[in-house]
A and B are shown apart, each in its own frame.
Chain A
């Protein structure tokens, strides 16, 4: 491999990571935009999503080590699994909001945020105690198709993760920009009190934000499993922390910012590992975060909220 090929390969690696982080970062940003709440339960909604995906694939008869599918069967299995996983994760998010967060809505201070940490640990331990501590082999229905790009290699799973992430982000953007509910969400994010006075049901908006964010985390969890071929109760922590960083880097509360932040973090992780050393990746990521926040406290695309305070 020439040096150029290596960088091309690292960019391919980084874009795949970034696509996954972006999906997760969107969930942080949607909820923060409306409630100004950092939802740490999101870490493990992602993890639960990957287990739901694992379960659905097994139900559909895709076992570890089974032959790869092709054509219509492959698309049907993937699409079916994706939809079920997103629905399940979305409903989990709604349940968390309804059962644990809504009763705390009017409390000031960090009570709600601490509650989300608690829920995160509950989810982690429920999965740990009911499904075991070992890493699970994730069934892989994808054929091992690869395409050489110069000296680098592009695999089907990378193409898949890009396409699914792009499609979901496009749908989300359309939803937030052009639908009635999306417009109501943006209005609530700007000023919940005024939105309420205009007749927007704020409770419904909050539920929609949790559903959408969690469904994207579920999709991210399924992509994680298909990409790495494993899942485990602990995967939420590192991915969640990176995605949260991505959301802050891009400007938390800002939808395009979350996507941009995810891609940047993914690329830094891959190229930092190449240029310096993999063990320094976290140092590099968080140094860049600190630097950006020093000069742009609201993040790359964020604005210091003009309508609040």
Chain B
């Protein structure tokens, strides 16, 4: 017996089918595969976050334009883990973003997060969702350390991959540079109380002590406070040979400005990749930023002649010069696209689990060289590059390639 209600249902079902049929021929050929992108687009690191996000977007656009994976159309799901209340990255927002990605079944892998503090909040959620992510810039070693597997990959398989090295290299290698090249005898250490900043500062401190550098103190900065003159005056009195800062830009910008007023200009001052951002050029300004060292946990690629065509494409599309973490973000996305391509080529469905396995076994030729991962998800090639800000008036003030002068690779111990 046909009731009015079931007739209605049948009719609406037919209408749906017809609608699907109309859109069908164009879409049936192309499966939509989404790649999550998570960066700290709000707050103190917003400009660096844009460079990273655009690196990933460029790879996705190029893969679609070149039909790299036949039958697959890539889409980006861009998420922001910075919040107005935190003024920088916010781990709680990162957790929400991870849930968003896991909830959308079309998301098969992700690029990000930019920050380690967010990574620590996202990793367990991604692990339970079986969703692999490749970070272009979060360097805290705990995330991939098997010691913390229970915490950051509770479901078992590694899901946190990196196209950068970790702070287990970034901190100590810079300490080697301090001891061997700058020949400093003492240092004062600061950090910004974040997961990344603390870890980096501690890694630096351990190696500095091993190398015989005297650590005169280690203090913490509140990233939301405006005034660091108290601690800087204390440092001035202790008169160390050098200053090292572990942290990101919300505190870093203010530290660099005020250090210029209080500490001797010739004192070597350095930070990690948290300071290798455009904000050091634009928000700190010259000459306060002059002479600051920073590192990147990746090889220096943006001045590599082989990468110039890519740099020009990036500049043409986004009207800003990329930095090395735009490259690691592009490379991370390339690794994901390659993994999807290999899964699709076998004829199997493109699922999260299959893409994760393909990422784990991939050997992908990228801008920074061949990227492959060890059993924990860490990149096999571990290079720390050192930069120093040196104003070159011939180039724009915010030119990431020419104002951050490449010094070389930091010595591995």
Residues of A within 8 A of B (CB): 1, 3, 5-6, 9-10, 13-14, 17, 64-65, 121, 124-125, 128, 132-137, 155, 224, 228-230, 232-235, 237-239, 269-274, 277-279, 281-282
- Residues of B within 8 Å of A235, CB to CB, are 226
Asked if B405 is at the interface of the complex by the 8 Å CB criterion, the answer is no
Is the C-beta of B6 less than 8 angstroms from some C-beta in chain A?
no
Q: A1-B237, A237-B224, A278-B220 are in contact. Are A128 and B42 (CB under 8 A)?
A: yes
Known: A134-B282, A137-B282, A230-B257. A6 touches B234 (CB 8 A): yes
Give the residue of B47, B219, B237, B397 whose beta carbon is less than 8 angstroms from that of A279.
B219
How far is A5 from B253 in the complex, measured between Cα atoms in Å?
Answer: 27
Cβ contacts B287-316/A at 8 Å (1 or 0 each): 010000000000000000000000000000
Using Cβ atoms and an 8 Å threshold, which residues of chain B touch A278? Answer: 219-222, 228, 230-231, 234
Cβ–Cβ < 8 Å partners of A64 in chain B: 285
A232 touches B279 (CB 8 A): no
* Mask of B247-267 contacts with A, CB within 8 angstroms, 1/0: 001100110011001000000
Please tell me if B400 contacts chain A, counting CB pairs below 8 Å.
no
CB–CB B220/A279 < 8 A:
yes
User: Known interface pairs A124-B84, A155-B261, A270-B230. Does A135 touch B283 (Cβ–Cβ under 8 Å)?
Assistant: yes
Interfacial chain B residues near A234, Cβ < 8 Å: 43, 84, 87, 224
- List of A residues within 8 angstroms of B222 by Cβ: 238, 278-279, 281-282
The answer to whether the Cβ of B233 comes within 8 Å of any Cβ in the partner chain is yes
Which residues from A are CB-within-8-Å of B253?
135, 230
* Set of chain B residues within 8 Å of A134, measured between Cβ atoms: 44, 46-47, 279, 282-283
**In the complex, which residues 188-237 of chain B have their Cβ closer than 8 Å to any Cβ of chain A?**
193, 219-222, 224-231, 233-234, 236-237
User: Chain A's nearest CB lies how many Å from the CB of B81?
Assistant: 13
What is the minimal beta-carbon distance from B46 to any residue of chain A, in angstroms? Answer: 4
Interface residues of B in 173-201 (CB under 8 A from A): 193
Q: Does B395 contact A (CB under 8 A)?
A: no
Is the beta-carbon distance between A128 and B230 smaller than 8 angstroms? no
Q: 10 A-B Cβ contacts within 8 A?
A: A6-B234, A137-B285, A228-B226, A228-B258, A229-B257, A232-B87, A238-B224, A269-B227, A279-B193, A279-B221
Q: Does the CB pair B44–A273 fall under 8 Å?
A: no
Which of these, B219, B227, B285, contacts A228 with CB under 8 Å? Answer: B227
CB distance from B86 to the nearest CB of A (A): 9
B318 at the interface (CB under 8 A from A): no
Q: Is B226's CB under 8 angstroms from A224's CB?
A: yes
Q: Give the residues in chain B near A273, CB-CB below 8 Å.
A: 230-231, 234
By a CB distance below 8 angstroms, the chain A residues around B87 are 232, 234, 237
Residue of B nearest to A64 (CB): B285
Query: Which A residues are in CB contact (< 8 Å) with B224?
Result: 234, 237-238
A125, B237: Cβ atoms closer than 8 Å = no
**Least Cβ–Cβ distance between A76 and chain B, in angstroms:** 24
Chain B contact residue count (CB 8 A cutoff): 42
Task: Name the CB-closest residue of B to A136.
Answer: B283
Measured CB to CB, the residues of B under 8 A from A are 41-44, 46-47, 82, 84, 87, 193, 219-222, 224-231, 233-234, 236-237, 239, 249-250, 253-254, 257-258, 261, 279, 282-286, 288, 397
| Cβ-defined contact, A125 with B282, below 8 A | no
Q: A64-B285, A155-B261, A282-B222 are in contact. Are A135 and B233 (CB under 8 A)?
A: no
Nearest-neighbor residue (CB-CB) of B191 within chain A: A279
B155 to chain A, nearest CB (A): 34
Q: Chain B CB within 10 Å — which of A14, A17, A134, A233 has the most?
A: A134
Q: A125 touching B84 by the CB < 8 A rule?
A: yes
Question: Inside 8 A of A272's CB, which chain B residues have their CB?
Answer: 230
**Bound CA–CA A110/B68 (angstroms):** 60
Contacts of B44 in A (CB 8 A): 133-135, 232
Q: Are B283 and A128 in contact (CB under 8 A)?
A: no
A135 — nearest CB in chain B belongs to which residue? B283
Which A residues touch B283, using CB under 8 A? 134-137, 230
| Chain B residues with CB below 8 A from A65, complex form | 285-286, 397
Partner of A269, one of B219, B230, B249, B285: B230
Known pairs A13-B230, A125-B84; list 20 more (Cβ under 8 Å): A1-B237, A3-B237, A9-B233, A128-B84, A133-B41, A133-B42, A133-B43, A134-B283, A135-B283, A137-B284, A228-B227, A228-B257, A228-B258, A232-B44, A232-B87, A235-B226, A270-B233, A274-B230, A278-B219, A282-B222
A234 to B90, CA, bound (A): 14
- B237 touches which of A6, A14, A133 (Cβ 8 Å): A6
A132 touches B227 (CB 8 A): no
Closest chain A CB from B80 CB (angstroms): 10
In the complex, chain B residues whose CB is within 8 Å of the CB of A1: 236-237, 239
Alpha-carbon gap, A285 to B258, bound state (A): 22
Nearest 8 pairs of A and B residues by beta carbon: A273-B230, A279-B220, A234-B87, A278-B231, A133-B46, A13-B229, A135-B283, A6-B237
In the complex, A281→B220 CA distance in Å? 11
Min CB–CB distance A166 → chain B (angstroms): 20
Asked if B230 and A239 sit within 8 Å, CB to CB, the answer is no
List A contacts of B234 (CB < 8 A).
Answer: 6, 273-274, 278
Contact B84 A135, beta carbon cutoff 8 Å: no
Which B residues touch A271, using CB under 8 A?
A: 230
Docked CA distance A229–B288 (Å): 11
> Whole-angstrom distance from the CB of A99 to the nearest CB of chain B?
22
Bound-state Cα–Cα, A65 to B391, Å: 13
Bound Cα distance from A124 to B85, whole angstroms: 9
B41 to chain A minimum Cβ distance, whole angstroms, is: 8
Contact of B219 among A14, A137, A277 (CB under 8 A): A277
* Complex CA–CA separation, A289 to B226 (angstroms): 21
| A154 vs chain B, min Cβ distance (A) | 12
Please determine whether A230 and B221 come into contact, CB atoms closer than 8 angstroms.
no
